[in-house]
A and B are shown apart, each in its own frame.
Chain A
Amino acid sequence: MKAEDAAGFAFGALRGYRARSLLMILAMAIGVAAVVVLTALGDGARRYVTGQFASLGTNLVIVLPGRSETTGGGMPMGMAATPRDLTLDDALALTRSHRVRRVAPIVIGSAAVSWGGLERDVPVMGSTAQLREVRHLELAQGRFLPAGDPQRGSPVVVMGAKVRDELFGAHRALGEWVRIGDRRFRVIGILRSEGRSLGVDIQELVIIPVASAQRLFNAPSLFRILVQARSREAVPGVKRFVVNTLRDRHQGEEDVTVVTQDAVLATFDKIFRALTLTVAGIGGISLAVAGILVMNVMLVAVSQRTGEIGLLKALGAPSRQILVLFLAEAAMLSLLGALAGLAAGGAGTWLLAYLYPVLPARPPLWAVGAAVGVALGTGLVFGTLPARRAARLDPVQALARH
């Protein structure tokens, strides 16, 4: 028997039992679609998060107060309990290396911003002029924080677009004086509306000079120091420099955490890859269930069609041929199911991308391949038992049971 005839025969059998074939294909399709959509979601989330980190700036070394990492080792836990504050002087000290391009100290807090009787509670970020380049911020109007002595906190503010809209409405905001907490600031710039960075919506943020923020919140400590290296290659050197400098400044104690953007990226990448694998596994379970359904359906098919099997044997089909015919049927069910599932998964992914444009939801190629492979594999594995049962049927009994 020719291969194409075997395929034609199997396909004819599938068409002959349309309802069961369609149900089977549906079950397989759901499994494949689940894997495709779930991995698209997981991988989309991974790309979204890593993209966010990349947009934070390039070649960054981030300094956090307190020692939370395990990399150094040998540090008794008790010593990390009360970390020394990161100060503005610490940040300034970090500028003294040729490998360092920019340093942006960051203070974060929340305060009421008011103008003309309207008041809004917004996140307030204190930093320096260099923040603009470090974080790739863009302005819609006006200018960013002025360069100059960061110790001198001038009363100026750069606003997110949404804060501006809510406070000023149709009024011109540039040059106006607003009240932040108990101090007055002059609006000198408006941030471009689009963009979100690391969970903080730039539209809802106001940025003031770091010294002003320290006074406003009455706290000398910094939330972060962002250090931008001159190049990617300089990042490890900058990291060493930062650690050494701050240890010298902190009486020999290594009480800060220094992470490079690459490390953060790598960590998130790893986490989300694991997540994607997990959801792929969950989708895989539905594929296995579909495989068991294939077996069930094929077993029913074999017992329904004993007469046909007996006849094929009487007409001179070897057992091997009957095995091949029933396996071909199972494989075809799986393949059609996988194709339908890919189509459904593609549609689902498209819908996701349509509903959540920020999420770059695309199934990774490996997941698509694996889903189709597993669908075919389970179909064949679970199709083997029924096919062997068919091949072993005694033709005399098969023909008698009519």
Chain B
Amino acid sequence: MIRLEQVARVFQVGDQAVHALDGVDLEVQRGEYLSIMGPSGSGKSTLLHILGLLDRPDTGRYLLEGRDVTGLDDAEQARVRRNQIGFVFQFFHLIPRMTAAENVELPLVLEGLEPAERRRRVDAVLEAVGLSDRAHHRPDQLSGGQRQRVAIARATILEPAMLLTDEPTGNLDRTSGHEIIALLESLHGAGMTLIVVTHDPELGRRARRRVRMLDGRIVEDRREPDHEG
């Protein structure tokens, strides 16, 4: 499903060139559960941004579903992000002036769906994340765990093939964190490709496939034959 070929990304910091990604090859199959770990500055976030088409590689190719998406223009990339990729961020990134339902509805609005259809889908997805009774609360009236569930509902409402998460539990207490992990893993169980960037080893160990990065390179890529749950 995902295929990166010799992807490199260089940032200019002052007069120094920093190789955030330095010739990365990666292949991910549909329905995989993958964690990307590594210390700060190892390039794992940059990798996630490139996978999510938020950033473009300087060199190399990115094939998504067999299609080279590196050279797509802005509007086409936006369409791919909207329909094939869901993002979950550490800081939730909910729009504070909008209710939970309105935040969840945003991708449908951007897609241009009819209001009736939007309402139906929003109700269904809020139900799925267990927030039906919080639909008309604004983010500041929700707990951290609830906010992240709203964000997950928003990321999955257009049923993307893959979910990219960046420290999804990084801003939550343990209990909420476990709930969020359970929710994400149930989505994976339903067939979604799940990619988790984290430096929490406990979270990282849960994935069947673990990629470790250092200085812009993949230094370890382990698959476990058996999934423990």
Number of A-B contacts (CB under 8 A): 72
Contact in complex: A13, B97 (CB < 8 Å): yes
A69 to B111 Cα, complex, angstroms = 73
Instruction: Judge if B142 is at the interface, Cβ distance under 8 Å.
Output: no
Q: Interface residue tally of chain A, by bracket?
A: 20 to 34
Contact in complex: B110, A1 (CB < 8 Å): yes
Q: Which of A5, A313, A320 has the most CB of B within 10 A?
A: A5
Contact in complex: B106, A396 (CB < 8 Å): no
Contact in complex: B78, A2 (CB < 8 Å): no
Contact in complex: A315, B82 (CB < 8 Å): yes
Contact in complex: A5, B109 (CB < 8 Å): yes
Contact in complex: B89, A315 (CB < 8 Å): no
Q: Which residue in chain A gives the minimum CB-CB distance to B81? A: A316
A318 to B82 Cα, complex, angstroms = 10
Contact in complex: A314, B74 (CB < 8 Å): no
Q: Which residues of A contact B93 (CB under 8 A)?
A: 307, 310-311, 314, 399, 402
Contact flags (1/0) for B91-102 with A, using CB distance below 8 Å? 101011110001
Q: Which residues of A contact B124 (CB under 8 A)?
A: none
Q: Which of B52, B55, B80, B89 has the most CB of A within 10 A?
A: B89
A319 to B110 Cα, complex, angstroms = 12
A316 to B83 Cα, complex, angstroms = 8
Q: Which residues of B contact A307 (CB under 8 A)?
A: 93
Instruction: Judge if B79 is at the interface, Cβ distance under 8 Å.
Output: yes
Which of A2, A311, A313, A317 contacts B95, CB < 8 Å? Answer: A311
Instruction: Judge if A55 is at the interface, Cβ distance under 8 Å.
Output: no
Instruction: Judge if B87 is at the interface, Cβ distance under 8 Å.
Output: yes
A348 to chain B minimum Cβ distance, whole angstroms, is 34
A312 to B83 Cα, complex, angstroms = 14
Contact in complex: A315, B112 (CB < 8 Å): no
Q: Which residues of A contact B54 (CB under 8 A)?
A: 313-314, 395-396, 399
A13 to B54 Cα, complex, angstroms = 24
Known A1-B112, A314-B52; contact A16-B97, beta-carbon cutoff 8 A: yes
A296-317: which have CB < 8 Å to B?
A: 307-308, 310-317
Instruction: Judge if B75 is at the interface, Cβ distance under 8 Å.
Output: yes
Contact in complex: A316, B107 (CB < 8 Å): yes
Interface size on B, residues (CB 8 A): 29
Instruction: Judge if A12 is at the interface, Cβ distance under 8 Å.
Output: yes
Instruction: Judge if A15 is at the interface, Cβ distance under 8 Å.
Output: yes
Known A396-B54, A399-B93; contact A318-B74, beta-carbon cutoff 8 A: yes
Q: Which residue in chain A gives the minimum CB-CB distance to B54? A: A395
Instruction: Judge if B199 is at the interface, Cβ distance under 8 Å.
Output: no
The interface residues of chain A, by DSSP majority, are classed as helix
Which of B91, B106, B112 contacts A402, CB < 8 Å? Answer: B91
B195 to chain A minimum Cβ distance, whole angstroms, is 14
Q: Which residues of B contact A319 (CB under 8 A)?
A: 74-75, 78
Q: Which residue in chain B gives the minimum CB-CB distance to A2? A: B112
Contact in complex: A312, B110 (CB < 8 Å): yes
Instruction: Judge if B49 is at the interface, Cβ distance under 8 Å.
Output: yes
Q: Which residue in chain A gives the minimum CB-CB distance to B83? A: A316
A213 to chain B minimum Cβ distance, whole angstroms, is 80
Known A314-B52, A399-B93; contact A320-B75, beta-carbon cutoff 8 A: yes
B158 to chain A minimum Cβ distance, whole angstroms, is 8
Instruction: Judge if B154 is at the interface, Cβ distance under 8 Å.
Output: yes
Q: Which residue in chain B gives the minimum CB-CB distance to A17? A: B97
Q: Which residues of A contact B89 (CB under 8 A)?
A: 399
Q: Which residues of A contact B85 (CB under 8 A)?
A: 316
Q: Which residue in chain B gives the minimum CB-CB distance to A15? A: B97
A18 to chain B minimum Cβ distance, whole angstroms, is 10
Q: Which residues of A contact B82 (CB under 8 A)?
A: 315-317
Which of B55, B91, B110 contacts A321, CB < 8 Å? Answer: B110
Contact in complex: B91, A315 (CB < 8 Å): no
Known A5-B109, A316-B79; contact A308-B95, beta-carbon cutoff 8 A: yes
Contact in complex: B87, A314 (CB < 8 Å): yes
Q: Which of B75, B78, B82, B96 has the most CB of A within 10 A?
A: B78
Q: Which residues of A contact B102 (CB under 8 A)?
A: 12
Q: Which residues of B contact A318 (CB under 8 A)?
A: 74-75, 78-79
Contact in complex: A316, B110 (CB < 8 Å): yes
A186 to B150 Cα, complex, angstroms = 98
Instruction: Judge if A185 is at the interface, Cβ distance under 8 Å.
Output: no
A1-33: which have CB < 8 Å to B?
A: 1-2, 5, 9, 12-13, 15-16
B54-73: which have CB < 8 Å to A?
A: 54-55
A373 to B74 Cα, complex, angstroms = 33
A116 to chain B minimum Cβ distance, whole angstroms, is 81
Q: Which residues of B contact A15 (CB under 8 A)?
A: 97
Q: Which of B54, B55, B74, B85 has the most CB of A within 10 A?
A: B54
Contact in complex: B97, A317 (CB < 8 Å): no
Q: Which residue in chain B gives the minimum CB-CB distance to A315? A: B107
A315 to B107 Cα, complex, angstroms = 6
Q: Which residues of A contact B87 (CB under 8 A)?
A: 314-315
A318 to B111 Cα, complex, angstroms = 11
A303 to B106 Cα, complex, angstroms = 21
A320 to B97 Cα, complex, angstroms = 23
Given contacts A310-B93, A314-B52, 13 further A-B contacts (CB under 8 A): A1-B109, A12-B97, A307-B93, A311-B93, A314-B54, A314-B93, A315-B106, A316-B85, A316-B107, A318-B78, A319-B75, A396-B49, A399-B93
Binding site for B on A (CB under 8 A): 1-2, 5, 9, 12-13, 15-16, 307-308, 310-321, 395-396, 399, 402
5 pairs, A vs B, C-beta closer than 8 Å: A15-B97, A316-B83, A316-B107, A317-B78, A319-B78
The 6 closest A-B CB pairs, nearest first, are A316-B82, A16-B97, A318-B78, A316-B81, A318-B75, A311-B93
